[in-house]
Amino acid sequence: MSVAFLFPGQGAQYAGMLHDIKNKWGLATTFEEASEVLNQDVLSLDSSEKLKYNKNVQICLFIAGVAAARSFKNKGYSPDVVGGHSIGAFGAAVASEVLSFKEALLLVKKRGKLMENAYPDGYGMGVVMGLREHQLLSIVNELSTDAAPVYVANLNSPDQITISGTLKAIEKVLEKASKKGARKTKMLHVTVPSHCPLMEGVSSELRKTITEVQGKDPSVPFIGNCKARKLWKAADIKEDLAASVALPVRWHDTTEVMYEMGTRLYIEMAPGRVLTDLAAKSFPEARAISAAESTMKTLLILMEKEKM
């Protein structure tokens, strides 16, 4: 296996992202289909004002990723393996034919709404670069309290790790991490405490809905968020989608599994390049490229070379 499609999570969004994708690849049908499912014009959701809301961010990222993947499919090209970071996993589920576009879109909408309602303000996420997991975990355990909890969340690379919880506690952890040698710390543009125990209620509610969706076994290997393992059954993938919101995303392990499977070309679906940078740093012998920043002609040439 040689080509992996990566679907980005929150942080990749920007104002006008859906318009850019539509203009670049002319994929009107995806946006029309999404608008019909949601009974609203989805192109109205990517403004700066609308992207302040978690639900809209998740919907836009999902639509963007699927639209990009469909552009390859329309040209007769498909990935050998797929994976998505957090909300991106729903795009990966569509690309691997586990869920239909409509099924996944309605789940994404519910996921975003549940997360917003659970934690409307005072919570979020931050990122620490330059410390290992055990170093950051020591700081988090020291500073987290019942009144102001904070948790280690996503393991994006061995030394790029996100934290999740109350804004007050996150700020304290970021400050101490800097003093302990982190090369960079910052708050993320995420308004809810994703991928930590605070989201267990959301995970339970999402599970109730997703179990009602039949789904299909994947057409290509799907690498899950929670355990970073190949998942071959629809039931296992649906469980991973439901559980992930309350558990850390083991993203580095996910891309490492892909590499061990033979992946030598990572293509990040629109609109991001964060996953591109992570893959390029972790696997210098492979090629990592952002679909949003490349021409379709270039991307197809690279895929042809890898599949030869």
Q: Are strands 222-223 and 230-231 parallel, antiparallel or unpaired?
A: antiparallel
The distance in angstroms from the start CA to the end CA of the chain is 11
- The verdict on whether 178 is a catalytic residue reads no
Sheet of strand 184-187: strand arrangement:
150-157, 160-166, 123-129, 184-187
Among the listed residues 71, 86, 96, 290, the single catalytic one is 86
Among the listed residues 195, 244, 252, 282, the single catalytic one is 195
The SS3 of residue 190 is coil
Place of tokens 């296992």: 236
Give the Cα separation of 110 and 91 in Å (integer): 15
- 33: Cβ contacts below 8 Å, ≥ 6 apart: 101, 102
H or E stretch covering 301: helix 296-307
- The verdict on whether 134 is a catalytic residue reads no
Give the Cα separation of 176 and 133 in Å (integer): 15
Cα four-point dihedral sign 123, 175, 249, 66: positive
Give the Cα separation of 308 and 302 in Å (integer): 10
Give the Cα separation of 101 and 147 in Å (integer): 40
Residue 240, both tokens:
């991973």
Residues facing 222 on adjacent strands:
82, 231
- Cβ–Cβ under 8 Å, residues 64 and 17: yes
List, by residue number, the catalytic residues. 86, 195
